[in-house]
Amino acid sequence: MNVKIIGCTSDPEKLPAMAATLTHSKIKPEDLDKISEKEQSAVLEQVLKLGHTSVIEHASFTFAISDVSRSLTHQLVRHRIASFSQQSQRYVNLNEPNYVIPPSIGKNKKTKKAYEETMGIIWDHYNRLLELKIPAEDARYVLPNGTCTNIMVTMNARSLLNFFELRCCLHAQWEIRLLANKMLQEVKKVAPMIFKNAGPSCTTKKICPEKKKNCPLYPK
């Protein structure tokens, strides 16, 4: 799995800081530049502490994500306030086997061998269908959820906070949890104040939506 920010709002904490300043003063939007960056940052930090996160919707981030499974992207697109562009199995010929091996399968030689043999059979049939002039858009029906794919994702900062609360949780499926943690590492590099306390809800809100009291992070 590879995750990288390839675009974001220019100075992604400035616009939210200006928006936060606007909500807490009589100043007009066109005069916000008259307020120092230090003052704006102080207001932004204060509203974030209060949980007033609407102002950070003005900042957005675009991620390039590669070598993840279709199982992961099926979960990812459930997050509604986002934009997605995914590699097409209709137009891209996937004749070379490329798939994700879950850790529970890969850690055991016997299960890993069985898994890889199954994938080999699947790709043999996929390529056979292509040889028989079946369109790729139809041949793809035999490909499994583990097939690797690439996707671009754009989310605003507020949606990302919600995404991290749900998907950094230890009870999230392992692959999307790994993705969420990699994305969190990336945004902290460019917007450290906004994402300073980002993470699963047990750390951000001291609540566990899953009610899993046996979890090591369960709020005491």
Catalytic site positions:
167
H-helix segments, the chain: 14-23, 37-49, 70-76, 103-106, 109-131, 136-139, 157-167, 174-190, 201-204
CA-nearest of 64, 76, 50, 68 to 4 is: 64
**Whole-angstrom Cα distance, residue 79 to residue 64?**
17
Q: How far is CA 144 from the centre of its chain?
A: 22
Tokens matching residue 82:
């986002």
Place of tokens 């906070």: 161
With beta carbons less than 8 A apart as the criterion, state whether 169 and 210 touch: yes
Q: Provide the greatest CA pair distance for the chain.
A: 70
Count of CB atoms situated within 10 Å of the CB of 141: 10
CA-nearest of 31, 89, 23 to 52 is: 23
With beta carbons less than 8 A apart as the criterion, state whether 180 and 72 touch: no
